[in-house]
Structure 1
């Protein structure tokens, strides 16, 4: 029965996220946002919506370990599993200036998260500070619009369409949020039941089952974009989603209800997350080719990490 709740939750989160992203993009284009800004903000935040829904549901339901595990596990999955599989589908190379600007930002965000969580408490003050970081990040993105023409063209080809009327987009966004809400509750309930059945901690299930389920929108969009050879879309979405996960999801959740992750494994989780940022840094920051060999290494890191979680 627990697996049915997990599968139902993942399905609702996936379709809710897709619905939210599609109509949010259409609404953003209708009010005049450029395709590049839409891709770096609306899409990145929209694909992180399942993480937000599941993290809030876990925190409000008294499962702080699941809430913590979902955010950290999603960031780990994005830079290992998702990026690795995308590179296996099609080697990635970027000319985008925004990647070189965002990679140092992602490193700083990861370091901030390391020190915020390392003491075992994320209170409302930390939540406000993280959310303030999100506002600063959005301001920065909205002001820095100049980009390489090829990159502008890639985003325009994907996000230049205005779509349906505004009222239809608003209904689509509302429907997406409703599906995310129900799906998050089902996923967290099923995951907590699985944790008890498997004899593992809520933290482990949050880092694996819940994080993987909420990362499906990033995985689906990355594989589709990689198959088309759209490296900038893959990298922009993943880097942006990881930044949103920390600033928006942890920030909003901690403001609603403080999170208290505990256990000796937390330092390992945060170290793996930070190590993946440092591993991806030379490829994404310098524009070097992230080929199938590098993708296989990233995928191997994820598999070894998951094996460690269930063996510990």
Structure 2
């Protein structure tokens, strides 16, 4: 029964995230917010909603290991699984913004998170506020720098014509699906972990993390197969930044998140830091500004090794 809860919970999170993105983008168009700003802020927040709800629910239910490892595992999956598989299907071009802004900020947030957890074994409200304020500063810089370029995240312009009643229904469905999905997933994951004799941290960094990364993975694969512009490296880096700063930041502001499983600090977070750093040399060697199939294969094999080592 616990496995059924996990599966149903993941499905609800996927559908809930999709409806929330759709309603958020449509409402933003109604409020005359620019397409660029919608892509950088509204969509990013909406796609982080599943991780946020799961981490918040886990922290409230007394399962801080799930709250932390949900984000750590999701960040690893975004790079090793999503980026790796997408690059294997179709090479990804990398812009210069990668090393000028996006990668340094992602690395900084990752190191700061490690320091906060290592320092006293708990992510406190003040530390959560620092992470969230850091996100706001990053978004301001990002939007200002993007105004000088013609690049913008792809946003479905068809949603500009959506009716208010449709937006309300999507928002209602998305909110309900995310709420009940996160509740079922956390309850099912805790029970499943006890039944197979592994820690909650192991379940959250593998099963739950992969589940919350499914939307990004499916979107990337579909775009690559169709020969369209695949999900960019910048988008995935942005997702990782949002996971740390908004998901763990907001969750810890509401409730302190203690480190209850030492494996998080001794092992799991070093994999996240390793994958985060690894993108830099891969982008420049041997061919600059491109993640080709071979580099994607390296990332994907690294992810498989990580999953194998966890169990």
**Post-superposition offset of 1:284:** 5.2
- Counterpart CA distance in 2 for 1:59 and 1:18 is 24
Q: Which residue of 2 aligns with 1:52?
A: 52
From 160, 170, 192, give the equivalent of 2:157. 160
Whether the aligned pair in 1 keeps the contact of 2:4 and 2:188 (CA below 8 Å) is yes
Q: Which residue of 2 aligns with 1:12?
A: 12
Deviation digits for residues 214-254 of structure 1 (CA, Å, limit 9, x no counterpart): 11122122222333445574323211111110110101111
1:284/1:102 Cα in 2 relative to 1: closer, same or farther (>3 Å)? farther
**Post-superposition offset of 1:2:** 1.0
1:214/1:78 Cα in 2 relative to 1: closer, same or farther (>3 Å)? same
Whether the aligned pair in 2 keeps the contact of 1:44 and 1:244 (CA below 8 Å) is yes
- Counterpart CA distance in 1 for 2:98 and 2:172 is 31
Q: Which residue of 1 aligns with 2:308?
A: 307
**Post-superposition offset of 1:79:** 0.8
- Counterpart CA distance in 2 for 1:166 and 1:15 is 20
Deviation digits for residues 34-55 of structure 1 (CA, Å, limit 9, x no counterpart): 3333222222222211100111
Q: Which residue of 1 aligns with 2:123?
A: 122
Pairs within 5 Å for 1:178-197: 178-197=176-195
Q: Secondary structure at the match of 1:215?
A: helix
TM-score, length-scaled by structure 2: 0.91
After TM superposition, the structure 1 stretch with the greater mean CA deviation from structure 2, 167-176 or 205-214, is 167-176
**Post-superposition offset of 1:99:** 7.0
Whether the aligned pair in 2 keeps the contact of 1:99 and 1:284 (CA below 8 Å) is no
- Counterpart CA distance in 2 for 1:231 and 1:202 is 37
Q: Secondary structure at the match of 1:144?
A: helix
- Counterpart CA distance in 1 for 2:24 and 2:128 is 25
Q: Which residue of 2 aligns with 1:80?
A: 80
- Counterpart CA distance in 2 for 1:33 and 1:284 is 33
Pairs within 5 Å for 1:194-205: 194-205=192-203
Whether the aligned pair in 2 keeps the contact of 1:92 and 1:290 (CA below 8 Å) is yes
Whether the aligned pair in 2 keeps the contact of 1:99 and 1:235 (CA below 8 Å) is no
After TM superposition, the structure 1 stretch with the greater mean CA deviation from structure 2, 213-222 or 61-70, is 213-222
Whether the aligned pair in 2 keeps the contact of 1:282 and 1:288 (CA below 8 Å) is no
**Post-superposition offset of 1:98:** 6.5
**Post-superposition offset of 1:61:** 0.7
**Post-superposition offset of 1:74:** 0.5
From 256, 259, 282, give the equivalent of 1:258. 256
Whether the aligned pair in 2 keeps the contact of 1:12 and 1:182 (CA below 8 Å) is yes
After TM superposition, the structure 1 stretch with the greater mean CA deviation from structure 2, 253-262 or 51-60, is 253-262
Deviation digits for residues 152-189 of structure 1 (CA, Å, limit 9, x no counterpart): 4xx45x43331402453243123211110100010111
Whether the aligned pair in 2 keeps the contact of 1:54 and 1:185 (CA below 8 Å) is yes
**Post-superposition offset of 1:307:** 1.0
Pairs within 5 Å for 1:27-46: 27-46=27-46
Whether the aligned pair in 2 keeps the contact of 1:28 and 1:38 (CA below 8 Å) is yes
Q: Is residue 217 from structure 1 mapped to residue 218 from structure 2 by the alignment? A: no
1:170/1:136 Cα in 2 relative to 1: closer, same or farther (>3 Å)? farther
After TM superposition, the structure 1 stretch with the greater mean CA deviation from structure 2, 233-242 or 220-229, is 220-229
- Number of positions where the alignment pairs a residue of Structure 1 with one of Structure 2: 306
Whether the aligned pair in 2 keeps the contact of 1:5 and 1:190 (CA below 8 Å) is yes
After TM superposition, the structure 1 stretch with the greater mean CA deviation from structure 2, 226-235 or 78-87, is 226-235
**Post-superposition offset of 1:276:** 0.9
RMSD of aligned C-alpha atoms? Answer: 2.1
**Post-superposition offset of 1:148:** 4.2
Q: Secondary structure at the match of 1:200?
A: coil
